[in-house]
Structure 1
Amino acid sequence: MNRSEGLVQRKNAAQASSNVYKSDEVANESDDDKSGTAAAEKDEVEDLDSKEARLTLMEEVLLLGLKDKEGYTSFWNDCLSSGLRGCIIAELALKGRIELEKTGMRRRSLLNRKIKCKSDVLTGDVLLDEALKHIKETNPPETTQSWIEYLSGETWNPMKLRYQLRNVRERLAKNLVEKGVCTTEKQNFVLFDMTTHPLNDKSIKSKLVKKVQDSVLSRWTNDVHRMDRRMLMLIYLSHVSDVLENAFAPLSDDDYEIAMKRVRYMLDLDPEQEAQREGTNELLWAIIAALSK
């Protein structure tokens, strides 16, 4: 083989190699386009989710208690105040801001253990951050039941009244208005005028009600520790706040009976025993123990 033939073969080989590289490059670009498209679709879905109102536990409980058209809670509900304060402590626990102190060698009951500040990073919610500030600055620490009493103002200790969170329902209703869930109106009740918050977007409450119903019907598990912790607390705190019945009212008689039977099963659980399960959040069960007394 002469020199010119060798040059031709090397040229052809280089060209072939270049073609292979280009085809791989095109394939990679195609894969990148696909992954980029998938990422874009995922971002779009997340963006849509972020636009939907994300409610805190206390906002969800209040929303379940609000009358759709009238825009106010029942005048006879005297349980909502302490229930909403339980929601605040539960929300802080779920966000990893507070925890129960360690039990040590001598096991103590949940109601005798103090709440400690685990992280003082602000949550961005005014009510939560206000409660977190109180818990962080209090020395010595207080128990779960004490904090529910302090935050609701239901304490006999005048030195602790400064911890009370005031106008909680009004502030939560304002949050719901800002999130587009409710609107603001004035209603006349003969002797006085009252600001009310009728539903503006019924779909959000419908989704919430459906989520609560599904948790004890189609998505029910016989082990509460397999339930989503947030949903577990929503059911307990809605019951304590006397608004859970509103979520079950639209059910058929058979489904209602099944739902209530499963809720009663949850309410009959012993918080002390459940808190000993591995991987559980003890503070959540301390809240349940405090509010079920």
Structure 2
Amino acid sequence: MNRSEGLVQRRTHTNSSTNDKTNNSNNGSDCVTNSDPKTSHSNDGTDEDIDSKETRLTLMEEVLLLGLKDKEGYTSFWNDCISTGLRGCILIELALRGRIQLERVGLRRRSLLLRKVLLKNGSPTGDVLLDEALKHIKETEPTETLQSWIDYLSGETWNPLKLRYQLKNVRERLAKNLVEKGVLTTEKQNFLLFDMTTHPLVDSGSKSKLIKKVQDSVLSKWVNDPHRMDKRLLSLILLAHSSDVLENAFAPLSDDDYEVAMKRVRELLDLDMEAESAKGSACEIMWAVFASFVK
């Protein structure tokens, strides 16, 4: 198997003041986790959660960190998937923090991607990118589907009235967050015709732990049931794949471990996202984002 070919074929994506609303619109899904990366612990049992003082990263920051070249400090120029992948991360992060949810199924059961995104809690998260996306959703809900929001936040729409919803300079803003957290630094590099701000890695320990967490999730700590996996970790695996950066986490593996990891990621990608979203306390927006990228 040629490891340079990456993972399975992906579809590049083309296509508080509100408590009363929260109580009235709750659709029964349980998305909320101890999700503040600055103050809380993840519940996936990973070693890095032992140290409460450790730097906490958002889902978007973790995906970007996997995609950044350590010394060069930028993502691959050939990666045309990470932009939409990061928007998917933003929507999942908002759901995990209890800010948004999908509308009720109703008598006529509609697919995940056709159901509207609803505001669940409009209070700020403290993260500028998340709050900007939340503001857009708050202004327009409940008229847009999750698929539409991925398009709008990415700027991939022919409707000029929707272009104002595009989140701009997302990678640069996430990189600056990582600089503030001491994971990256800022440099200027000359590329013959232009200068570019880059963000090389300075805290190799944070990225090493992130890579180990991803590797362990599909190897030594594989649970063979997505609903027993930590929601944030499951999202990281599938959104890293959709962003074409998961290969970077698997590159150091031996050939045998690489084969096993690939097989298990494919098992996750082959799940019936509609069916999984209806199980137990599944986070429907999380599964809807997955569905939008793997359909």
Q: 1:231 to 1:47 in 2, by over 3 A?
A: closer
Matches within 5 A, 1:1-293: 49-293=51-295
Q: Specify the SS of the correspondent of 1:278.
A: coil
* Contact 1:135/1:141, CA 8 A, preserved across alignment: no
Q: CA deviation at 1:53?
A: 1.3
Q: 2:183·2:204 contact (CA, 8 Å) conserved in 1?
A: yes
1:150–1:163: 8 Å Cα contact kept in structure 2?
yes
Q: Secondary structure at the match of 2:161?
A: helix
Mapped contact 2:119–2:141 kept (Cα < 8 A): no
Structure-2 separation of matches of 1:245 and 1:272: 26
1:184, 1:140 → 2: CA distance? Answer: 40
Letter of the structure 2 residue corresponding to residue 271 of structure 1: M
Cα deviation, 1:218-275, whole Å, max 9, x if unaligned, reads: 1101111110000000001000000000000001111000000000010011101111
Amino acid at match of 1:65: G
CA distance in 1, matches of 2:142, 2:182: 41
Deviation at 1:49, TM superposition (A): 3.7
Task: Say how many residue pairs are matched.
Answer: 248
Higher helix share: 1
Alpha carbons of structure 1 residues 171 and 105: separation in structure 2 relative to 1, 3 Å: same
Structure 1 position 139, deviation (Å): 4.2
Deviation at 1:47, TM superposition (A): 12
Q: What SS does structure 2 have at the residue aligned with 1:186?
A: strand
Conserved 8 A contact 2:117-2:142: no
| Cα distance in 2, alignment partners of residues 65 and 122 from structure 1 | 28
Residue by residue over 1:109-131, the C-alpha shift from the partner in whole angstroms, topping out at 9 and shown as x without a partner, is 10110000000111100000010
Distance 2:194 2:174 in 1: 22
Inter-partner Cα distance in structure 1 for 2:76 and 2:215: 21
SS at match of 1:51: coil
Give the aligned residue type for 2:54.
E
Rounded to whole Å, the distance in 2 between the matches of 1:62 and 1:255 is: 24
Larger radius of gyration: 1
Alpha-carbon distance in structure 1 between the residues aligned to 2:143 and 2:171: 26
Is the 2:118–2:142 Cα contact (8 Å) retained in structure 1?
A: no
Q: Percent identity?
A: 76
Aligned residue for 1:26? Answer: none
1:143 Cα shift? 0.6
In the other structure, the counterpart of 2:3 is none
Cα–Cα, structure 1 residues 69 and 115, in superposed 2: closer, same or farther, change >3 Å? Answer: same
TM-score by length of 1: 0.83
Q: What is the TM-score with the length of structure 2 in the denominator?
A: 0.82
Consecutive aligned runs of 4 or more in structure 1 exceeding 2 Å deviation: 46-51
Answer yes or no: is the 8 Å Cα contact 1:145–1:291 preserved in 2.
no
Uncovered stretches (5+) of structure 2, i.e. residues with no partner: 1-47
CA displacement, residues 190-225 of structure 1 (integer Å, 9 cap, x when unaligned): 111111100010000000000000000011011111
Residue 101 of structure 2 aligns to a residue whose secondary structure is: strand
Given that 1:213 and 1:248 are in contact with CA atoms closer than 8 Å, whether structure 2 keeps it comes out as yes
Alignment match, 2:40: none
